[in-house]
Amino acid sequence: MNEVDRTPVFIGLFGDFELFVNGQRIETLRSAKGQALLSILALSFGRSVQRDKLCALLWPDSTPESGRTNLRQTLTKIRKSFGSNETALLTEGREVSLCAQQVSVDTNEFEKLFPSEEIPSLEAANSLYRGELMESLPLEDSPLFENIHNARRRFQELEIEVLHRLIAHYAQKGTCTALQTTAEKLLRIDPTDEVAHRGLMVFYSKEGRNNAALRQFRSLEKLLKEQLGASPSTESRELYRAIKQTDNVAAIDSETPVMEMENKEEVNSDPYLQSDSRFTITYTWLGVCISLLVFGTLIVKNLSTSSVEKAAPSVMVSTVPVNESRAKHSIAVLPFKNLSADPEQRYFSDGLSEDLITDLSRIGNLNVVARASSFLYQSEDMPLDQIARELGVQHLLLGSVRKQGNQLRINVQLVDASNGVNLWSNRYDRDFADVFVVQDEIARIVVGELAVSLTDAEQARFDSRPAIDPDAYDLLLQALGPLRHLTRESTLEARLLLQRAIDLDPNYARAHANLALTRSQDLIFHFTDDPETALRLGFESINQAVALDKDLPQVQFALAGLHLSANDHQAAIRAARHAIRSDPNYADGHGTLAQMLMFVGKLDEAMESINEAKRINPGFTFTYLWVEGQIHFLRQDFQAASRVFNNINSRNPSFVSGRLLLLSALGHLQDHQAAEWEIAELLTMTADYRISADTFYTRYLHTEHQNLYINGLKLAGLPQ
C-alpha cells in the first residue's frame, strides 16, 4: 500500500480502524479508547488538540484528575504501539498532536486526491475509502457522535462523487469489470443511487445480459418507490427504453448502425416506452447508454459541490395542457411524503410543505395553489399530469421527508407537467437546525427555475428570515393540525403546544400569531365561557406578534379575527387587506376579507373575495362555504343558502355554526320537517342551546341582518 510506504506511521480511519508502522499492521492498540484517541488526533491532522478537550470527549463522566490519568495512560500505549517512531506522537504542554513528517492518514490522503481529474488519482481515492469514517468504533453515546456523524456524511458525499466520476469513465471506455465493481460499491453506500443502477444496466447490456439489465431497472423502481416515494429519473427511463427496444443486446456495440423501433404494440404496452406517435424514435445503442449515464453523472457532480448528497430521483409525468395565460408562473406544492419510521411524524412533513407554500405564495408574480387544495392529493395515487390538470397549474413541487432525531433527509423535485421535464431535484441531508436554510434554498431555486421576477420587498424577505428555534418550530407544526379542527378540545390542544413554542422562543412571531388565533376561535365559535378574558389574552398575543413581524400574513389574519371578535369591523377589514398585500396568493386572507365584508353588508365585494379565495384554493375548506352561504342568506336567497349549509354539514357534522345558519334558512323557507331533524341533531351536540344566549348575530353590523338571523331561528322552532 503506497500510503503505508510514504511515512513510518499510517492510520486508517475509513471502515475498521487500522494502524501500520513501518509497513506492518499493528494489532496491539485494541482498546476502543486508544483507537478513538488516535482517531481524534488523526482527524485533527496538522493541528494540536488540548488535553482537557480530549479528556472531556473520551472520559466525560470522570473527574478531571481521573480523566487526565486515563489520558496519560492511553497516550503511553499509543507511543509504545509506534515502536521506534514514538516521536510521531507530540505532547507539548497542554497540547497533543501527530507529527506530519512521520504520519499519514487515509482521510487526509483522500482529500488530497479528490479534486484531481486524473483517473488513477480517483481510483487511489476510492481504494482508500473502505467504509464509513470510524465505522468500527462505538460512538453513539459519546460526545464525539455528532461531530463524527457530520464528518462521516461529508466524506460519504465526496466518495459518492468519486464513484460517479469513475462510473462515467468506465462506461465510456467499456471497462466492464471495473464498471460493475464500482457501481456495486456505490449501491452499498446508497441503494437508491440512480447512477449506480444505470452503471449496472450498461454493464449487463454490454455483457449480453439484457434481462438482468431490465431487472436492475425494476429493482431501482421498487427501491425508489419504497424508500423515497419517487420514480426513476428521465435518464434511467430512457436507458430502460433503449434496452427494452433491443432484440439482441449482446450483438450490438458502439459500431452498430442506428436501429428503428418496429414493434410498437409491445412498446406501447409498457408505460416507460410510451412516446409521441408523431416521431420515429431511433437509438445508437451503446452511445445512448453512455450518454445517459454520463449526463446523469454530470448533473450530480455539479450539485455535489454543495452539502447536498445527490439529486433526488425524478417522477415521470406526461404532457398536460395548461391555461397559457397563467401557466408559466403557476405551481402547486404537493404534500411531502413522511418516510420517517414514526407515522406520527407526518405533522412535520405536512408543515414543511405548508411553509413552502407560504414562502412561494408571498411572491406576487407567482400563482400558487393553496394548501387545502394541494393536500387533497396527500393519499391519492394518480399521475402527476392529472394532478396538475385538476389544479390548473403547469409546475409541481413534491418530495419526501425523513426525520430521525436531529437528522433530516429531504428529497425535493420540481416538475414541469406540460412536457414531463424534471426541472430540478435534490436531496438534503441536514441537521434539524438547518431546516430553515433548506426551505430558503428550495424557494429560491423554484423562483429561479420559473424565472419569476421579485420586487425589492420580496427579495428582502428572502434575505432576512429571522432566526427561529428549531424545537419551537417543531411544536408550532404539531399545533397546526388541531388548530384547524375547530373544536373546543382541539383549540385548547393547539394553544398548549403554541405556548410551549413561545417558551422556547419568545421572539417567534408566527407562534404568537397562532396563539392569538386560538383566542379568536374561542370567541367566534363560542369555545369560551369568559369572552372578555379571551379577547384580552388574544390581543396581548397579537400585539407581540405585530411588534415582531407586522407583515407576516398569519399575523394580520389573526389580528382580523380578533378585531371581528371586538366588533371592530373596519379594523378587521384593514388587517385582512394587509394580509393580502403581504401575500397575494393567501387564499385564507381573501376568505377572511370576504368574511369581514360580508359582516358589514358589502355583499357583492364579499362574493368577489370569496370567489378569488376559491380560485386560489380550488380544494377549499368548509369555512369558505360558511362565508358564501351567509352571503346568500343575507341576500335572502334562502334556497341557495340552505344548499351551501347542507354541504357544510355533510363535510363537518360537528360544526355548530353551520347547522344554526342552516336552521335559520330553513325557518325562513318554512321547511319545518327538515328543521325538526336538524334541531334534534343540534341538541345532541349542545343540549342547552337557547336563542337568547346566542350572540353570533352581533357579528353583523346592520340591524336588519341581525334580525334576519334571529327571526329565522325562531321560525325554525328552536328553544328561545
Alpha-carbon distance of 177 to 183, in angstroms, equals 10
- Residue 481 C-alpha cell reads as 393540525
Q: For the stretch 454-492, what's the b/e string if a residue is b when 16 or more beta carbons lie within 10 angstroms of its beta carbon?
A: beeebeebeeeeeebbbebbbbbbbbbbbbeebbeebbe
Burial bucket for residue 543 (CB in 10 Å: 0-12, 13-18, 19+): middle
Partnered with residue 24 across adjacent β-strands are: 21
Distance between CA atoms of residues 639 and 546, nearest Å: 42
The reply to whether 297 and 343 lie within a common domain is: no
Let me know if residue 314 belongs to a domain: no
Q: Are 336 and 351 in the same domain?
A: yes
* pLDDT at 268 (0 to 100): 41
Do residue 284 and residue 153 come from a single domain? yes
Q: What is the CATH number of the domain that holds 158?
A: 1.25.40
592 in a structural domain: no
Are 219 and 195 part of one and the same domain? Answer: yes
Residue 64 has which C-alpha cell?
A: 478531571
DSSP state of 562: H
Q: Are 454 and 502 members of one domain?
A: no
User: CA 249, CA 552: separation in Å to the nearest integer?
Assistant: 60
Q: How far apart are alpha carbons 516 and 560 in whole angstroms?
A: 11
Whole-structure pTM over 0.85, yes or no? no
Give the Å distances, CA to CA, from 531 to 201, 523, 565, 710: 68, 6, 9, 21
Is residue 472 domain-resident?
Answer: yes
Residue 420 near residue 317, CB atoms below 8 Å: yes
| Residue span of the structural domain in which 213 resides | 148-303
The pLDDT assigned to 512 comes to 94
Of 444, 463, 482, the residue that ends a domain is 463
Which CATH number goes with the domain that contains 45? 1.10.10.10
How far apart are alpha carbons 511 and 475 in whole angstroms?
A: 9
pLDDT at 573: 92
Q: Are 189 and 306 in contact (CB under 8 A)?
A: no
In-domain check, residue 110: no
**Rounded to whole angstroms, how far apart are CA atoms 389 and 391?**
5
* Domain-embedded: residue 368: yes
CATH number of 570's domain:
1.25.40.10
Residue 565 lies in a domain: yes
Do 708 and 626 sit in the same domain of this protein? yes
| Same-domain status, 299 and 167 | yes
Report the C-alpha gap between 670 and 674 in whole angstroms.
Answer: 9
Tell the burial category of 523 from Cβ atoms under 10 Å away from its Cβ (0-12, 13-18, 19+).
Answer: buried
> Do both 670 and 696 map to the same domain?
yes
The CATH number of whichever domain residue 420 belongs to comes to 3.40.50.10070
The answer to whether residue 605 is domain-embedded is no
Query: What's the total number of domains in the chain?
Result: 5
Q: Given the DSSP bridges, would you call strands 49-50 and 95-98 parallel, antiparallel or unpaired? A: antiparallel
393 in the Ramachandran plot: left (φ > 0), alpha (ψ -120 to 50) or beta? beta
d(CA 107, CA 129): 8
Q: Which of 259, 274, 303 is the last residue of a domain?
A: 303
Examine the domain organization and report whether 288 and 375 are in the same domain: no
Which residue positions in the chain have pLDDT lower than 70?
1-6, 138-147, 246-328, 341, 364, 380, 451-465
Q: Pick the last residue of a domain from 403, 438, 463.
A: 463
Task: Please report whether residue 542 resides in a domain.
Answer: yes
Could you tell me if 271 and 159 lie in one domain?
A: yes
